[in-house]
Amino acid sequence: MPIVTVSSVPEASEELKDGMGPVVVIPVYNAFDDVVQCLKALFQFTSSEVDILLIDDGSLEPRVARLLSGLQDVEHRVVLWTHQENLGFVATANEAFLAAGRRDVVLLNSDVVVGPEWLDRLREAAYSDARIATATPLTNHGTILSVPYRNAPSDLPVGVTPEGAALVVAASAGKLRPRIPTCIGHCVYVKRLAIDLVGPFDEAFSPGYDEEVDFSQRCNLAGLSHICADDVFVYHRGGSSFGQSAQVRRLQERHERLIARRYPYYHSWVDRTATSDTSVLALAITSARRALLGMTVMVDATCLGPVMMGTQRVVVETTRVLARHPRIARVIALVPPVDPPYLADAFAGCDKLELLRDGQPHPIIGIDIVYRPFQVNSEHELARLRVLGDRIVIAQLDLIAFQNPGYFRTPNEWEEYQDLTRRVLAVADGITFLSQHVVDEAHAEGLIAPGQPIKVVYNGTDHTRLCPAPRRPALLSEQAAEDGYLLCFGTDYRHKNRLFALRVFAEMYDRGYRGSLVFAGPRVPYGSSRPEEAEYLLTRRKLKGHLVTLASVSEAEREWLYTHASLVIYPTLHEGFGLVPFEAAAAGVPCLSSAQGSLSEVLPDGLEVISHWQAQAVAGQAMALLGDEGRRNLVVDMLKRRGGDFTWDRVADRLVDLFDEVCRRRRNSVLAREDAQTVGLAGALTPSYGDPYSWDFRKAVQQIGRRPRLRRLVVRITVLFYRVATRLHALAVRRRGEV
């Protein structure tokens, strides 16, 4: 239908009086190219039943007038009103409020490009609550509603169109409809009740800037509210009408001062809204960011040392599979300042992976998840994790140390470790566990909050080969290797039950076995079984020549030991997962394992295991496995088949599922970003176990740090004393100089 031209409020009202629903109002002033894009999208994505009021506010570009007057054969009812001179946005909007009669009004900037379903979704948000005065969509250029970069207006990511952005934001949105202090003028749905109750825009803000803020505050004070329609995205070029001249900046500053005088609470309210990372708005913003940019994950890989051990293996494999996962757009590995020798090979071909050196400036923004695949060792580490990204997910590998006071130098250190574990799991936005067994233990200890996102993420067993050619450890003689050996992998913690392995080996020796027993694994400072082993060997000196202890082995040596072992024995009493049986089977060697703890969950049903804690019986099992090829092959085959259930790709799938769940929730408020300095202070005073500060002193500092009012008081007193002490010191120095 042809457009209708009017020249006054009564004429416009007459043309619009019969319509239903909101009137979309587009004030136009120059910016021809923007107007073309705006109208093209508006006509494409807006129902033909919606009335459109175009107000040309005295544009100086002839092309704009020709474009608007030349609109023909559009499906919408379009009313065109041309001002003979520029009245400014405030006066133009107020005319539109009058012209719309009793209908709602949508104010749409002429440099805005809408997307599919934009108006239906915007209206649905506006009417989701009777108290709502306005609804504003997300945009790329909209102060506190800017996405993908929060509070930072920007263009769309490369390759993303306004239509595409609108679709993905709508698809991922939770329709949270967060409350905001003010509507944003690029595109705002204004309900008629708000205009009726508080009136139109205040002419004191002519020609524009902050008129919507003043209007919004009048609504707020009248008991109404404003929301963000988080399932609507519109593209906004920004600054087309007013430009960025010095005169415009002075106008903005003048209006900002007026807002501050009228509403002294406003700017601090906006600041809190813009910076809170636990708010509903923060959740909506980050959801839209992920929709536009994809998920970004940082993996804490700071534990990667010169030797590839079990923890390093988990970190490397986890980082690799996340970097190739289709639902992850970007992975950042936080690595040590010095590259370990295997790093280049470990991360070769990971195109989505970036390395960030620990200790370097951290300019990266928009990190959705910081994942720590190994346990946190101090409050300081926890505080650092908290400021690296939006949310943290922690891997709780087991509760072995949590439940065993023997693994610490003093009882206080054990209590400190327990407190830290409780704190870490309370602060974490999500937690991974290596098995359901560990989850059950954590529940029994009261370590999981109701509703807290958790996920069982088993280890993968299909490791990437990263080591050089396997090599025999120097401390294992060629003769011992040729004679055959039982291999017992693991640290010398008591729960590893090496003493039992020694007893089994003694029984085997008595039955004629003349191979060796090889213990391979790091020594621990507390809770070691070495004293008991030494005592046992005092009366069995014949075994000493057949016992080889390797304090630690490289990845290449580890592979060699597995490949050449006659049998692997794994009598552990407590494990979070238990990789050893699967690693042995991968090398073609049977493993005689216990089924304690998580092993009962991860080992295949029907597998031959250590079922009695009598050394004679287990020695009989071991001797049978050494001599029965069919029995050996059965154990290996069963473990290999079961190991196929534990792949690193499945690890990534389960992790990403948890990351998605965590990202759909508000950030854990137990430790918000603003509390990180407090925890950092406490962590600085407790950098590691066994530090010189007394237990009571550390606990007192931590408790002060967790009480905001007390913390502020203590900090102020400390600063005061510091200043006084500094001045007294300076005075003393001057006096000494005078003498």
Contact 273, 64 (CB under 8 A): no
Contacts for 675-680: CB closer than 8 Å, 24+ residues apart:
675/706, 676/383, 676/386, 676/387, 677/383, 678/705, 678/706, 678/711, 679/379, 679/380, 679/382, 679/383, 679/386, 679/705, 680/379, 680/380, 680/383, 680/384
Contact 170, 121 (CB under 8 A): yes
Question: Beta-strand (E) ranges in 30-148?
Answer: 51-56, 78-82, 105-108, 112-113, 132-139
What are the φ/ψ torsions at residue 409 (nearest 5 degrees)? -65, -40
Residues in the chain with pLDDT values less than 70? 1, 239-244, 467, 670-709, 711-712, 715-716, 718-719, 722-723, 725-727, 729-739
Whole-number Å distance between alpha carbons of 154 and 448: 40
Measured CA to CA, the distance from residue 83 to residue 91 in angstroms comes to: 11
DSSP 8-state assignment for residue 465:
-
Beta-carbon contacts of 116 under 8 Å, excluding residues fewer than 6 positions away, are: 45, 163, 166, 167, 170
State how far Cα 568 lies from the chain centre: 40
**Residues 53/25, Cβ–Cβ less than 8 Å:** yes
Question: In the prediction, which pLDDT does 739 show?
Answer: 45
Three-state SS letters, 197-260: HHCCCCHHHCCCCCHHHHHHHHHHHHCCEEEEEEEEEEEECCCCCCCCCHHHHHHHHHHHHHHH
Write down the pLDDT at residue 671. 55
Instruction: Determine the pLDDT at residue 679.
Output: 45
pLDDT at residue 692 in the model: 43
* Sequence-separated (6 or more) residues with CB below 8 Å from residue 506: 540, 543, 615
CB-neighbour burial class of residue 631 (10 A; exposed 0-12, middle 13-18, buried 19+):
middle
How much is the pTM? 0.84
CA atoms of 5 and 594, how far apart (whole Å): 87
What is residue 35's predicted lDDT score, i.e. its pLDDT?
93
Which residues make Cβ contacts (< 8 Å) with residue 155, sequence separation at least 6?
140
Longest CA–CA separation in the chain, Å: 111
Tokens of 32: 């021809």
Going along the chain from its start, the domains and CATH numbers come out as 4-290 (3.90.550.10), 294-456 (3.40.50.2000), 478-643 (3.40.50.2000)
Find where tokens 């908290």 sit: 386
pLDDT at 462: 94
Residue 687: the pLDDT is 39
CA atoms of 167 and 395, how far apart (whole Å)? 35
Distance CA 731, CA 347 (A): 58
Which stretches of 459-515 are assigned E, i.e. beta strand?
485-489
Cα–Cα distance, 477 to 469 (Å, whole number): 18
Q: Which two tokens stand for residue 238?
A: 């920004």
